[in-house]
């Protein structure tokens, strides 16, 4: 039988980020109400952290403590010879628990029923007497208390002063946190420190740590795969434009608009999927693709990769292989229209043998068909933006209220040079974009709503390869 969940009360002064911390710990952006004004949480609200389908921790969010000075004074008037916890119990049975100290009574009643408390501190605040009274009241409940110094990313943090005070009250373990932008490892630290306070629950807490680590790796893996698939899809995008389309400016412009819209839809679908992986709302992030692309009007259709692939497909026929090899060599050296036409004619007869890429391109060339694809610069910016988005989501707490915005301007180190980059461009992003060239020959690798699931093993292999490259880029 699964062990009973560890019961933890989240307590502290009003407006210090208790509900926010809980949102982040259970990765539920929709839990409770969060606002800038004090007294937002009025009732105890509970939520479970599930591990392997079972409740591992039951958290209880509580209203903020407000008048600790008056409550501490009142507690001291009760049962002079009793222990502090007996006085707390007497208070909870008495009339004031339903009158002047109704909110505080909810907090203390909850704490007495829990295994431990997480005491949330807004460490931008100086250690005022009212906070010291709060600590004394919590200590009177005779439960392990773990302080969490929230807002510790803030430059005004008084964390050192708080640590000193907490030590004076025998609270030697405390965790620095920021519910909006948690540090890497802060959550792990919190559960490890709870294990120090709750020794008999240590194995259970270690299971939680292991599971959270695994979930975090899994989220990153899933995110990389989504981004890799988007990039492969974007690189594969290709539209053929007939000579009539090319000649008609309005038709050409409309096709270009449509092309951009298709790209935007793919990016939006990927962003939605990423937000779902990280447990955020669909409107929590925005990636702006509109300004990036004018498309790439391909006049040189003889890409080295296409030819290499065709040559591999042809394989056996020596004469054919030689012909394609010749085209590849010339293409790499730069192909003039005249040469292209001549070579196209030279290998045109191969079309009848059923190999797809080169004949189609040559046929297009001869028929005056243009192909619209994405520039490498666009792919570079897209890759940079998605890496940036993944890093932002990875670092984001579920208490964050502001939208993540990834703007194209800051997304790429040097998008303008990407199309004619030299061998000196060896940055991981450039290398990644170079790997995407393999997708350019396979327009059916594009993800459209009807082809979301691809069964092509070569596409899957390229997605995996790109995901590996993203791994090196995206690790915080």
Ligand X SMILES: Nc1nc2c(ncn2[C@@H]2O[C@H](COP(=O)(O)OP(=O)(O)OP(=O)(O)O)[C@@H](O)[C@H]2O)c(=O)[nH]1
Under the rule (CB under 6 A), what is the footprint of ligand X? 14-20, 34-36, 38-41, 64, 150-151, 178-180, 399, 401
Q: Name which of Mg ion, ligand X, none residue 178 binds, using a CB cut-off of 5 to 8 Å depending on partner kind.
A: ligand X
Q: How far is the CB of 208 from ligand X (least distance, A)?
A: 21
Nearest approach in angstroms of CB 9 to ligand X is 13
State the binding partner of 117 from Mg ion, ligand X, none, CB within 5 to 8 A by kind.
Answer: none
Told to check if 19 binds Mg ion by CB under 5 A, we report yes
> Cβ closer to Mg ion: 42 or 73?
42
CB closer to Mg ion, 18 vs 396: 18
**Binding site partner of 150, from Mg ion, ligand X, none, Cβ cut-off 5-8 A by kind:** ligand X
> Which strand ranges, in their side-by-side order, compose the sheet holding 45-51?
45-51, 54-61, 6-12, 116-122, 145-150, 175-176
Q: Is 150 a binder of Mg ion (CB under 5 A)?
A: no
- At closest approach, how far in Å is the CB of 107 from Mg ion? 11
Nearer to ligand X, 41 or 233 (CB): 41
Among 24, 41, 364, 388, binds Mg ion (CB under 5 A): 41
Partner whose binding site includes residue 20, from ligand X, Mg ion, none (CB under 5 to 8 Å by kind): ligand X
CB of 283 to Mg ion, least distance (A): 23
Q: How far is the CB of 99 from Mg ion (least distance, A)?
A: 22
Among ligand X, Mg ion, none, residue 180 binds (CB under 5-8 Å by kind): ligand X
**Closest separation in Å from C-beta 283 to ligand X:** 17
Query: Could you tell which of ligand X, Mg ion, none binds residue 412, using a CB distance below 5 to 8 A set by kind?
Result: none
Contact between 20 and 397 (Cβ < 8 Å): yes
Give the nearer residue to ligand X in terms of CB position, either 151 or 442: 151
We find the least distance from the C-beta atom of residue 259 to ligand X, in angstroms, to be 41
Question: Which is closer to Mg ion, CB of 10 or CB of 463?
Answer: 10
CA gap 54, 275 in Å, rounded: 24
Q: Which is nearer to ligand X, 45 or 262 (CB)?
A: 45
> Measured between alpha carbons, how far is residue 48 from residues 25, 45, 95, 102, 175 in Å?
10, 11, 32, 25, 21
Q: How many residues bind Mg ion (CB under 5 A)?
A: 4
Site string for Mg ion, 49-68 (x = CB under 5 A): --------------------
350 CB-near residues (< 8 Å, 6+ apart)? 314, 320, 323, 358, 359
What does the binding site for Mg ion look like in residue numbers (CB under 5 A)?
Answer: 18-19, 40-41
């Amino acid at each position: 039988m699964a062990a009973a969940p560890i019961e933890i009360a989240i307590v502290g002064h009003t407006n210090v980020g208790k509900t926010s911390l809980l949102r982040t710990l259970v990765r539920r952006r929709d839990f409770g109400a969060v606002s800038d004004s004090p007294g937002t949480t009025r009732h105890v609200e509970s939520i479970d952290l599930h591990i392997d389908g079972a409740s591992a921790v039951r958290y209880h969010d509580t209203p903020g403590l407000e008048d600790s000075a008056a409550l501490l004074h009142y507690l001291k008037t009760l049962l002079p010879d009793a222990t502090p916890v007996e006085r707390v119990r007497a208070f909870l049975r008495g009339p004031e628990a339903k009158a002047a100290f109704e909110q505080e009574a909810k907090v203390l009643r909850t704490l007495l029923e829990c295994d431990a408390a997480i005491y949330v501190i807004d460490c931008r605040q100086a250690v005022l007497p009212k906070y010291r009274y709060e600590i004394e009241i919590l200590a009177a409940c005779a439960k392990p208390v773990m302080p969490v110094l929230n807002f510790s990313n803030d430059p005004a943090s008084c964390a050192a002063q708080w640590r000193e005070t907490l030590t004076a009250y025998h609270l030697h373990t405390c965790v620095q946190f920021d519910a909006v932008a948690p540090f890497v490892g802060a959550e792990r630290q919190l559960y490890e420190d709870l294990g120090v306070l709750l020794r008999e629950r240590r194995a259970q807490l270690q299971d939680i740590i292991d599971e959270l680590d695994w979930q975090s790796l899994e989220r990153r893996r899933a995110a990389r795969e989504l981004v890799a698939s988007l990039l492969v899809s974007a690189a594969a995008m290709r539209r053929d434009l007939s000579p009539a389309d090319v000649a008609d400016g309005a038709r050409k412009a409309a096709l270009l608009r449509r092309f951009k819209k298709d790209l935007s839809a793919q990016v939006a679908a990927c962003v939605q999927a990423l937000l779902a992986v990280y447990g955020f709302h669909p409107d929590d992030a925005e990636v702006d693709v509109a300004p990036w692309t004018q498309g790439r009007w391909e006049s040189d259709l003889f890409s080295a990769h296409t030819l290499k692939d065709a040559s591999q497909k042809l394989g056996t026929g020596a004469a054919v292989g030689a012909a394609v090899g010749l085209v590849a060599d010339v293409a790499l050296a730069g192909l003039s229209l005249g040469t292209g036409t001549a070579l196209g004619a030279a290998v045109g007869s191969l079309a009848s043998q059923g190999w797809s890429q080169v004949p189609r391109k040559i046929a297009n060339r001869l028929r005056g068909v243009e192909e619209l694809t994405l520039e490498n610069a666009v792919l570079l910016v897209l890759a940079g933006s998605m890496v940036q988005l993944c890093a932002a989501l990875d670092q984001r707490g579920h208490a964050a209220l502001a939208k993540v915005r990834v703007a194209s301007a800051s997304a790429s180190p040097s998008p303008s040079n990407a199309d004619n980059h030299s061998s000196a461009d060896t940055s991981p992003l450039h290398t990644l974009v170079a790997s995407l060239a393999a997708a350019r020959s396979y327009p059916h690798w594009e993800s459209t709503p009807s082809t979301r699931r691809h069964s092509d093993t070569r596409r899957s292999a390229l997605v995996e390869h790109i995901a590996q490259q993203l791994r090196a880029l995206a690790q915080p």
